[in-house]
Amino acid sequence: MNKYCIQLAALLFSGICLQASDGLLQQIESLGTLTQIPKSYLAKGSQKSDNPRAIYFDSLPYEGKDTRTYAWLGLPKNREGKVPGIVLVHGGGGSAFKEWVERWNKHGFAAISIAVEGQTCSKVVNEQNKKVWEKHQWAGPSRVGVFGDSKQELRDQWMYHAVSQTILANSLLRSLPEVNEEQVGLMGVSWGGIISSIVMGIDQRFDFAIPVYGCGYLNEADNHYKSALANNQPYLRGWEAGHRLNRATMPVLWLSWPGDKHFPMEILKKSYDECGSANMVSLVPGMGHGHGPAWARPEGYAFAKSVLKNGKPWCQRLESGVLKDQTFARFKTDRHLNCATLVYSKDGGITGHRNWIQTQIRLVQKGNIWLADWPLPEGTTGWFINVEADGLIVSSDYHTEQSQPQKTLLH
């Protein structure tokens, strides 16, 4: 029997005791106890000497059957001593990506990219003559729309398994003799970003986190998320990341762009405002939505290296707002900032559908404090300021026409 059956029984017993007092949150957060090292197996066609190599690892039972998670696992080729690591979680339409692992390996990180819908990285043609990821024989549940399976028992819901797989991948990666268990981070793209936003408040072993696009407060987004989740009680009471974002003790990089149609700027801002640790925001105009843009941008790698070296992001955003019709934002960094850009819109509606205008603005340095300011264009409905250092973009808080100057959560 899969040893996680025993752990699951303990979790369920805990849940039964708590259900009378609406203990959904506690049941979800008890997934943080999955710290045992899962047993791993080489995938068919993969050799132990391969780097990266395809593997499976034991996961939680689904509908009474044992499951496994497919993944790519790789180590840096040239390394001395123990190396840092990162768990990589794909988004909708994705799978475990070998290339994603290889990119992090080149930056000196051990990496594991997991497939959270019971699939491999091979594609087959389905009955509708469409190419889809091949399901393996130990698959758990697949995602059903937007928390569309929330009426199922908690242990049979896709998000329950996706979160547990992410935590188990953390347990596996940090157990490797080549990996420094105190330096393992987390990165997720789109749905993987949603998963990361949830996991950040559950598994405090992560040393840093990089949610890309995905965030919390999905029920407040004026798009398909709101229509699906406005009355979804299991999501609202339990899965909403905002319930536990203030427990995220690791530094966080929120990486996205103003044109994202899935995750509007307002809910992204609400998520990073609630985050309980030093966090950094990078909003990259024209970035696009996808796995490729997420792993091609340099911000994630630079952020992770800075946290490992200094214990904090390389740039700290300070106050920003409007004073006497003048936009301003202050940043603190020892790096040289090349330029500052005001990114603003005069449109209304969902931020991802607006036209965003970029204007290079004044940037003044005083020691390691940098001030960017510029007159606020008439009719502006939303804006933020970007500063850049050698191709790395860091953003101020996002502001609307109703915004007031404020300090961030950084200390």
Average pLDDT of every residue of the chain: 92
Mean pLDDT over residues 335-362, rounded? Answer: 97
376, HSE (Cβ side, Cα atoms, 13 Å) = 22
Is residue 210 within 8 Å of 104, Cβ to Cβ? no
Give me the numbers of helices (H) and strands (E) for the chain, helices first please.
Answer: 10, 19
Q: What percent of the chain has pLDDT over 70?
A: 92
252-256 and 279-283 as β-strands: parallel, antiparallel, unpaired?
parallel
Q: Quick one: pLDDT at residue 401?
A: 72
Q: Quick one: pLDDT at residue 3?
A: 55
Task: Kindly give, in sequence order, each residue whose CB lies less than 8 Å from that of residue 217, ignoring residues fewer than 6 positions away.
Answer: 240, 241, 242, 267, 270, 271
Confidence of residue 4 (pLDDT cuts 50, 70, 90): low
Q: Quick one: pLDDT at residue 276?
A: 87
DSSP conformation letters of 9-57: HHHHHHHHHHHTTT-HHHHHHGGGG--SPPPEEEPTT--TT-SSEEEEE
Domains, the chain, ordered by start: 3-309 (3.40.50.1820), 317-400 (2.60.40.10)
Helix axes 158-175, 191-199, angle to 10 degrees: 70
d(CA 329, CA 343) in angstroms, rounded, equals: 12
Task: Kindly give, in sequence order, each residue whose CB lies less than 8 Å from that of residue 45, ignoring residues fewer than 6 positions away.
Answer: 54
d(CA 377, CA 375) in angstroms, rounded, equals: 6
Q: Quick one: pLDDT at residue 1?
A: 47
pLDDT beyond 80 at 6: no
Give tens-digit pLDDT for 66-124.
Answer: 999 999 999 999 899 999 999 999 999 999 999 999 999 999 999 999 999 999 999 99
Which residues lie across from 254 on neighbouring strands? 281
Show the tokens assigned to 164. Answer: 């547990």
- DSSP H or E run through 272: helix 265-274
Alpha-carbon dihedral 403, 285, 226, 249, rounded to 10 degrees: -70
Confidence of residue 398 (pLDDT cuts 50, 70, 90): very high
- The SS3 call for residue 410 is coil
Closest by CA to 35, choosing from 52, 1, 11, 18, is 11
Fill in the DSSP letter of residue 80.
Answer: -
Backbone angles phi, psi at 20, to 5 degrees: -60, -30
Task: Beginning with the edge strand found earlier in the chain, give each strand of the sheet holding 53-62 in spatial order.
Answer: 40-42, 53-62, 65-74, 110-114, 83-89, 179-189, 209-212, 252-256, 279-283
d(CA 317, CA 281) in angstroms, rounded, equals: 8
Closest by CA to 287, choosing from 259, 263, 253, 262, is 259
d(CA 179, CA 93) in angstroms, rounded, equals: 30
pLDDT beyond 90 at 17: no
Residue 288 amino acid letter:
G
Backbone angles phi, psi at 309, to 5 degrees: -80, -45
- The SS3 call for residue 194 is helix
Confidence of residue 274 (pLDDT cuts 50, 70, 90): very high
Confidence of residue 2 (pLDDT cuts 50, 70, 90): low
Q: Quick one: pLDDT at residue 82?
A: 97
Give tens-digit pLDDT for 184-229.
Answer: 999 999 999 999 999 999 999 999 999 999 999 999 999 999 999 9
Mean pLDDT over residues 151-155, rounded? Answer: 95
End-to-end CA distance of the chain: 48
Is residue 57 within 8 Å of 170, Cβ to Cβ? no
Confidence of residue 22 (pLDDT cuts 50, 70, 90): low
Alpha-carbon dihedral 221, 227, 229, 230, rounded to 10 degrees: 90
- The SS3 call for residue 180 is strand
